[in-house]
Amino acid sequence: MGDSVKKPGWKDIPIGGRIEDAGNSQKYYVGGWRTRRPVWIKENCIHCLFCWVACPDAAIVVEDGKIQGFDYDHCKGCGICARECPAKSPAIQMRSENIEDQFDS
Amino acid sequence: MATLKELATRDGKFCGGHRLCPGCGAGIVTRQVLAAAKDNVVVGCATGCLEVSTTIYPYTAWNTSFIHNAFENAAATTSGVEAAYRALKKRKKFGLEDSKYNFIAFGGDGGTYDIGFQSLSGAMERGHRMLYVCYDNGAYMNTGIQRSSATPLGADTTTSPAGKEIPGKVQYRKELTDIIAAHYIPYVAQASPSNWKDLTRKVEKALSIDGPSFINIISACPRGWRIPEDQGLELHRIAIDSCFWPLFEIEDGVKYTINYKPKTKRPVEDWLKPQGRFKHLFKPENRYLIAEEQKRIDERWEMLLRRAGELD
Amino acid sequence: MGNRIALTGNEAVALGMKQIAPDVVAAYPITPQTEVVQIFSQYVADGDVDTEFVTVESEHSAMSAALGASAAGARAMTATSSNGLELMFEVVNITASLRLPIVMPIVNRAITGPINIHCDHSDVMTIRDSSWILLFGENAQEAYDNLLMANRIAEHSDILLPVAVNMDGFIISHAVENIEIVEDEVVKEFVGDYYPEKYLLDAANPITMGPVDLQDYLFEHKRQQIEAIKKVSGVVRQVSQEFAELTGRHYDLFEEYRLDDAEVALIAIGSTAGTAKAAIDNLREQGIKVGLLKIRLYRPFPAKEIVEALKGVKTIGVMDRAESYSNTGGPLYADIRAAMYDVGGTAQVMNIVYGIGGRDMTVRDLENLITQLQKVTETGEIEERIIHYGVRD
Ligand SMILES: Cc1ncc(C[n+]2csc(CCOP(=O)(O)OP(=O)(O)O)c2C)c(N)n1
Ligand code: SF4
Ligand code: SF4
Ligand code: SF4
Ligand SMILES: [Mg+2]
Per-residue model confidence as pLDDT tens digits over B167-202? 999 999 999 999 999 999 999 999 999 999 999 999
Q: Taken in order C56, C131, C75, C184, is the CA torsion positive or negative?
A: positive
Torsion of CA B143, B148, B154, B159, to 10 degrees: 40
B12/A24 Cβ within 8 A: no
Domain(s) labelled CATH 3.40.50.920 in chain C stretch across 254-388
Number of other CB atoms surrounding residue B132 within 10 Å: 31
pLDDT of A101 > 90? The answer is no
Q: Domain residues of chain A, as ranges? A: 37-105
**Tell me, what's the pLDDT at A102?**
59
Residue A59 with chain B: CB contacts under 8 Å: 16
What is the 3-state secondary structure of B222-243?
Answer: HHHHCCCCCCHHHHHHHHHHCC
**Tell me, what's the pLDDT at A2?**
52
Q: Is the CB of B224 under 6 A from ligand 1?
A: no
Min Cα separation A59/chain C (Å)? 22
CA angle, residues B189, B192, B193, in degrees to nearest 5? 130
Give yes or no for a contact between B141 and B170, defined as CB atoms under 8 angstroms apart. no
Q: Taken in order C378, C384, C386, C391, is the CA torsion positive or negative?
A: negative
Give yes or no for a contact between B16 and A71, defined as CB atoms under 8 angstroms apart. yes
Nearest ligand, CA B71: 1
CATH tag for B4-307 (out of 3.40.50.300, 1.10.645.10, 3.40.50.720, 3.40.50.970): 3.40.50.970
How far away, in angstroms, is B150 Cα from ligand 1 center?
Answer: 13
Q: Which residue of C has its CA nearest to B39?
A: C203
B126/C55 Cβ within 8 A: yes
Residue C55 with chain B: CB contacts under 8 Å: 126
Give yes or no for a contact between B119 and C110, defined as CB atoms under 8 angstroms apart. no
Beta strand residue intervals within C49-142, DSSP E: 52-54, 76-77, 103-108, 133-136
Q: Which atom of ligand 2 is nearest to the CA of A76?
A: 3
Identify the bridge partners of residue C293 per DSSP, sorted by sequence position.
Answer: C256, C267
Q: What are phi and psi of C392, to 5 degrees?
A: -80, 140
Rounded Cα distance between B304 and B306, Å, is: 5
Burial class (CB in 10 A: 0-12, 13-18, 19+), B5: middle
Rounded Cα distance between C176 and C172, Å, is: 8
Min Cα separation C281/chain A (Å)? 47
CA angle, residues C290, C368, C117, in degrees to nearest 5? 105
Q: Is the CB of B219 under 6 A from ligand 1?
A: no
Number of other CB atoms surrounding residue B300 within 10 Å: 16
Identify the bridge partners of residue B246 per DSSP, sorted by sequence position.
Answer: none
Rounded Cα distance between C162 and C101, Å, is: 4
Give yes or no for a contact between B180 and B214, defined as CB atoms under 8 angstroms apart. yes
**Tell me, what's the pLDDT at B202?**
98
**Tell me, what's the pLDDT at A105?**
45
Nearest ligand, CA A54: 2
Class of domain C254-388: alpha beta
DSSP class of C114: S
B4/A48 Cβ within 8 A: yes
Rounded Cα distance between B116 and B132, Å, is: 12
Domain(s) labelled CATH 3.40.50.970 in chain C stretch across 3-247
CA angle, residues C304, C307, C309, in degrees to nearest 5? 110
Q: In sequence order, what are the residues at sequence separation of 6 or more whose Cβ sits closer than 8 angstroms to the Cβ of residue C120?
A: C108, C109, C110, C321, C322, C355, C356, C357, C358
Q: Taken in order C205, C209, C212, C215, is the CA torsion positive or negative?
A: positive
Q: What percent of chain A has pLDDT over 90?
A: 87
Q: What is the CA radius of gyration of chain C?
A: 21
**What's at B8, amino acid-wise?**
A
Nearest to C208 among A9, A15, A22 (CB): A22
Rounded Cα distance between C356 and C122, Å, is: 8
Rounded Cα distance between B193 and B32, Å, is: 7
Rounded Cα distance between C324 and B9, Å, is: 59
Query: What's the pLDDT tens digit per position in B125-142?
Result: 999 999 999 999 999 999
With an 8 Å Cβ cutoff, is B87 touching chain C? yes
Q: Are strands C3-8 and B255-258 parallel, antiparallel or unpaired?
A: unpaired
**Tell me, what's the pLDDT at C344?**
82
Go through B258-290 and write b for each residue having 16 or more CB atoms within 10 A of its CB, e for each that does not: bbebeeeebebbebbebbebbbbbeeeebeebb
Q: Which of B54, B56, B68, B69 should we substitute to test contact with C (largest number of C Cβ atoms within 10 Å)?
A: B69
How far away, in angstroms, is A75 Cα from ligand 2 center?
Answer: 5
How far away, in angstroms, is C211 Cα from ligand 2 center?
Answer: 25
Angle in degrees, 0-180, between the axes of helices C89-97 and C59-72, rounded to the nearest 10: 20
Min Cα separation B250/chain C (Å)? 24
B93/C210 Cβ within 8 A: no
Give yes or no for a contact between C310 and C293, defined as CB atoms under 8 angstroms apart. yes
Residue C223 with chain A: CB contacts under 8 Å: 10
Measure Cα distances from C393 to C360, C387, C388, C389, C390 in Å: 16, 12, 10, 11, 9
Q: Which atom of ligand 1 is nearest to the CA of B138?
A: 16
- Is the interface score ipTM higher than 0.95? yes
pLDDT of A103 > 70? The answer is no
Question: Could you tell me which residues of chain C have a Cβ less than 8 Å from any Cβ in chain B?
Answer: 23-24, 26, 50-52, 54-58, 60-61, 64-74, 76, 90-91, 94, 199-203, 206-214, 216-217
DSSP, collapsed to helix, strand or coil, labels residue C342 as helix
What subunits touch chain B, counting only 3 or more CB pairs under 8 A?
A, C
Entry field: residues in chain B:
312
Picking from B104, B107, B108, B84, the residue whose alpha carbon sits closest to that of residue B96 is: B84
pLDDT along chain C (393 residues), means of 10: 89 98 98 98 98 98 99 98 98 98 98 98 98 98 98 98 99 98 98 98 98 98 98 98 98 98 98 98 98 98 97 97 97 97 89 98 98 96 96 97
Q: Is the CB of B137 under 6 A from ligand 4?
A: yes
**Tell me, what's the pLDDT at C345?**
78
CATH of domain A37-105: 3.30.70.20
**Tell me, what's the pLDDT at B275?**
99
Q: In sequence order, what are the residues at sequence separation of 6 or more whose Cβ sits closer than 8 angstroms to the Cβ of residue C298?
A: C128, C134, C135, C136, C269, C332
Least confident among A31-40, A91-100, C50-59 = A91-100
Min Cα separation B243/chain C (Å)? 35
Entry field: residues in chain A:
105
DSSP, collapsed to helix, strand or coil, labels residue C103 as strand
Ligand 2: which residue has its CA nearest to atom 4? Answer: A75
Architecture label for domain C3-247? 3-Layer(aba) Sandwich (3.40)
Rounded Cα distance between B31 and B49, Å, is: 15
pLDDT of A1 > 80? The answer is no
Beta carbon pairs, A and B, within 8 Å: 125
**What's at C82, amino acid-wise?**
S
Nearest to B84 among C55, C69, C214 (CB): C69
Q: Tell me the pLDDT band of A59, cut-offs 50, 70 and 90.
A: very high
B57/A80 Cβ within 8 A: no
Mean pLDDT in residue range B267-282: 98
**Tell me, what's the pLDDT at C319?**
98
How far away, in angstroms, is B243 Cα from ligand 2 center?
Answer: 28
